[in-house]
Amino acid sequence: MIEEFLKVEKAAIDKELEAYFMYLNNNEKEILLKDFFTQLQEFILNKKAKRLHPILLIAAFIGIVNPLYLDNQLDKIRKVSLAVELLHSGHIIHDDLMDGDIERRGKPTFHVQLKNELNKVFKNLETPHKDELANNYGRDMSILGGTQGYLLGFDIIKASKFPENLKLLALNEYTSAMDNLMKGQIVEEYMSYHNITMSLEQYLNIAEMQRASLLEKSTKIGAILAKGNMHYQINPLSKAMALMGQASAIRDDILDMQDDIKARKKKIVYILAVQNTDEEQSKILNEIYRKEEELNKSDVKQVMDVFAETNAIIIAEHFSKNLISQANDHLKDIYPDLNKNQKIFFSEFSDFIFMRTF
């Protein structure tokens, strides 16, 4: 059931995004801003994007709203769901820039896309310091582009046709998600530049702020706009999604383990490994993570061997599975229960998070 719902709603959201960017361009008189929105559109309308955040918003809305009113409100909620996709896109634009990533979903990251665009302009011009200018342009416009994504999402909720009191509650959750994303990024960057190895508690706190929060807030916004009961429906659903978000962060880090080793990022598996290393294993990790030159295959293998010997990968997987189990317990607390198909969807979504391989 979940695969079909994800497929149908992703197609609908992609269509809404295309219509939204057409609207932006048609209503913008400044030609340079039109060009900027076109660049933003090119990045966001990547066919490989999963659109999980808007889909969760829609699923929560459908799960709680009176089915008699669903047909009349489905278009409205799909339009509102773009807000969390734009917030997510703004965040990954900033995240890619700070991490120096060059590719996202098989295409250039936003700052690289903009750098490449300016290089085309410079191609036949005698301009000094072309590379530096192009790099600075990509950096500066990505800072602005990510922030613009946050604001566009805010405006979508504000301009929606839902009752004012519900919009205000939804906007509170939206700004809370934005606040969490930025605070999580601040803490992570601070620890990285000060070479602080985070504790498991700090890791989970950052995972909650940076990844779980947006899953949880997306779902909560959908439930609020469906007029869900805050205590008996919205809160247990929110708690379930926060736990699934933490499990998703762990799953992501397990899947990205080799890339994180190459980048010397100390994620969940590293944190668990250092708690169980002997003197020799600790020495291996310290020497490799402090290397100035780029890590080779042998370095990565040695780290992977330490992770395996300390059972860090297995422990991380069990930890993720336990979070999913706790999330499912919260789903059982929802009363009145979700509409039948969405009850199945959220139950399957927890398995989808744990079992996925992408």
Q: What is the average pLDDT score of the chain?
A: 95
pLDDT of res. 300: 96
Please report the domains of the chain, with CATH numbers, ordered by start residue: 1-164 (1.10.600.10)
pLDDT at 299 over 80: yes
| Mean pLDDT computed over 93-117 | 96
172-217 pLDDT, tens digit each: 999 999 999 999 999 999 998 898 888 999 999 999 999 999 999 9
pLDDT at 357: 59
% pLDDT > 90, the chain: 90
Overall average pLDDT of the 150-166 stretch: 98
What pLDDT does residue 127 have? 82
pLDDT confidence of residue 204 = 92
Q: What is the pLDDT of residues 69-83, one digit of tens each?
A: 999 999 999 999 999
| pLDDT of the residue at 128 | 87
Q: Are 225 and 170 in contact (CB under 8 A)?
A: yes
**Mean pLDDT within 48-63:** 97
Q: What is the pLDDT of residue 354?
A: 79
Is the per-residue pLDDT at 358 higher than 70?
Answer: no
Nearest in space to 204 (alpha carbons), one of 179, 176, 221, 184: 184
Residue 184: predicted pLDDT: 95
Beta-bridged to residue 103, according to DSSP, are 108
